[in-house]
Amino acid sequence: MGARLAWVDAARGICVLLVVLLHVRIFVYAPLAPPTNGVEIWTQLTEFFGAFRLPLLFVVSGLVASKRVRAGWSDRRTVLRAVSLYWLYLVWLTVYAVLSIVFISPGIPFRVMTPLHYLEQVFVPDSMLWFIFALAASVVLLASLKRVRPAVMLAVLAIASVATGAVPLTRDEALWLHVVYYAVFFAVGVYLAPALRALATSRVRWRVPLAVGAFIACQLLWQQSVEGTVLESALRLLRDSSAVVLSIVVIALLVRWQPFAATASAIGRRTLPVFVLQLPLIWVLYLLPPVEWSLDVAWIRHLAPLLCTALIVAASLGIHSLVMRGSGRVLFGLPQGWRRRILQRVASET
């Protein structure tokens, strides 16, 4: 079990690092760096990892929640998980709204512009918090439909994922489309958890070359499609699925190296503060003049996305540690009284 937990935590850690790296490149590096000297390289790199970061993150999130979600609402811990996720979403949406009053700049992404914009986001996400919203929605959906056969649920969610390719993409629609597209990956983690664990612990000699070959083939097929079509979405789903298989196989091997396992797992066990704090920290980096000035230095410019990612992760974990020592811990979890009330039936039943 230790090895299995190690690869799951390591996968989450790697995914959150890739997510922050992408956002740093889009919202800090690209706007502030000179138009040459590496910007395009970082763009290509972060776009390539798009097949890996979120599909894998949703799969391992579903795997971790598998037993409770499949138990449905009869397990009060499922209720707790759904309520906790939506609590986090609302709390940090409110934090973003308050900070949006302080951080005012045309280049600031995902500000909560008006009270109406805030109310709209209670139901339709329009910020980096969409991931937490998607997890809550997926838990509610699968727990409510626990009597539906897993094969049917996976098929329906896969069809819904592919159908997102038929919706014209605009900024306002893109994030809720992500919620729909990635739901099938969460369901894979929930319903195929034993198969995923078996894949991670398999000793088949050719599993890495086979996984690499399958991903390359799927990637090449996807590249031949036209963006914004159902065919492109279907091929992207196939590519992302092969990327999940490749990721699990590779990470399961890498965690055998203790330094990698320790570092990646340590971040993977604390992904929440990084996810919710990355946006305010990106705002700070974007607005701080020394950040832009430093990009005139060649070696800093070339390594800036990595340096900013490391800074955001370290700052997030540091802020989280400080906040958790006081009453501010409600920013990262339900109040204890609420948790006890939700779980009281479990205690009485046991």
Quick: pLDDT tens for 181-198.
999 999 999 999 999 999
Alpha helices in the chain (DSSP H): 2-24, 30-32, 39-48, 53-64, 66-71, 76-102, 115-123, 130-144, 150-163, 171-181, 183-191, 193-201, 207-223, 230-254, 258-268, 271-287, 289-294, 298-323, 336-349
Residue 348 has pLDDT above 80, yes or no: no
pLDDT digits 0-9 by tens, 223-248: 998 887 899 999 999 999 999 999 99
Integer Cα distance of 249 and 286 in angstroms: 37
Residues 243 and 52: beta-carbon distance below 8 Å = yes
Q: How confident is the model at residue 153 (pLDDT cuts 50, 70, 90)?
A: very high
Exposed/middle/buried for 323, CB within 10 Å: 0-12, 13-18, 19+?
middle
pLDDT of residue 173: 58
Q: Is residue 350 part of a domain?
A: no
CA 136 to chain centre: 13
Burial readout 26-50 (b: 16 or more C-beta within 10 A, e: otherwise)? bbbbeebbeeeebbeebbeebeebe
Structure tokens at 289: 């003049």
Q: Crossing angle, helix 183-191 and helix 130-144, to 10 degrees?
A: 50
Highest mean pLDDT among 34-38, 75-79, 272-276: 272-276
Take residue 341 and report the two structure tokens written for it.
Answer: 């009330």
Express each pLDDT in 304-324 by its tens digit.
Answer: 999 999 999 999 999 999 999
Residue 24 has pLDDT above 90, yes or no: yes
Cα separations in angstroms, 257 against 7, 251, 263, 271: 11, 10, 10, 21
Q: How confident is the model at residue 209 (pLDDT cuts 50, 70, 90)?
A: very high
Q: Compute the mean pLDDT over every residue in the chain, rounded to the nearest whole number.
A: 91
Cα dihedral: 224, 226, 227, 230 (round 10): -100
- The verdict on residue 349 lying in a domain is no
Residue 87 lies in a domain: yes
Structure tokens at 254: 């890498």
Query: Token pair of 260, please?
Result: 């990698």
Does residue 300 fall inside a structural domain?
yes
Residue 179 domain-assigned (yes or no)? yes
Higher-confidence position of 174 and 294: 294
Tell whether 66 is covered by a domain. yes
- With 80 as the cut, is the pLDDT of residue 345 above it? no
> Looking at residue 1, what is its pLDDT?
42
Q: What is the pLDDT of residue 229?
A: 86
Is 230 inside any structural domain? yes
- Let me know: does 235 contact 222? Beta carbons within 8 Å: yes
Residue 201 has pLDDT above 70, yes or no: yes
Is the confidence at residue 172, as pLDDT, over 60? no
**What integer is the mean pLDDT of 140-156?**
96
Under the banding of pLDDT at 50, 70 and 90, the label for residue 115 is very high
Q: What SS3 string covers 167-219?
A: CCCCHHHHHHHHHHHCHHHHHHHHHCHHHHHHHHHCCCCCHHHHHHHHHHHHH
Which residue type is seen at 52? Answer: F
pLDDT tens for each residue of 64-105: 999 999 999 988 899 999 999 999 999 999 999 999 999 888
Q: What is the pLDDT of residue 171?
A: 47
The model's pTM: 0.93
Determine the Cα–Cα distance for residues 134 and 322; give it in Å rounded to an integer. Answer: 28
Q: Environment class of residue 109 by beta-carbon count within 10 Å: exposed (0-12), middle (13-18) or buried (19+)?
A: middle
Confidence of residue 169 (pLDDT cuts 50, 70, 90): low
The pLDDT assigned to 350 comes to 44
pLDDT above 60 for 339:
yes
Give the residue numbers spanning the domain of 82. Answer: 2-344
Per-residue model confidence (pLDDT) at position 161: 95
Q: Dig out the tokens for 336 from the structure.
A: 């204890």
Residue 58 lies in a domain: yes
Total of domains in the chain:
1
pLDDT range class, residue 288, cuts 50, 70, 90: very high
Give dist(CA 176, CA 204) in Å, integer. 39
Question: Could you give phi then psi for residue 324, rounded to 5 degrees?
Answer: -70, -10
- Phi, psi (degrees; rounded to nearest 5) at 145: -110, 35
Residue 34 in this model has a pLDDT that exceeds 90:
no
Distance (Å, rounded) from C-alpha 271 to C-alpha 5?
Answer: 15
Residue 141 has pLDDT above 80, yes or no: yes
Query: What band does 38 get if pLDDT is binned at 50, 70 and 90?
Result: low
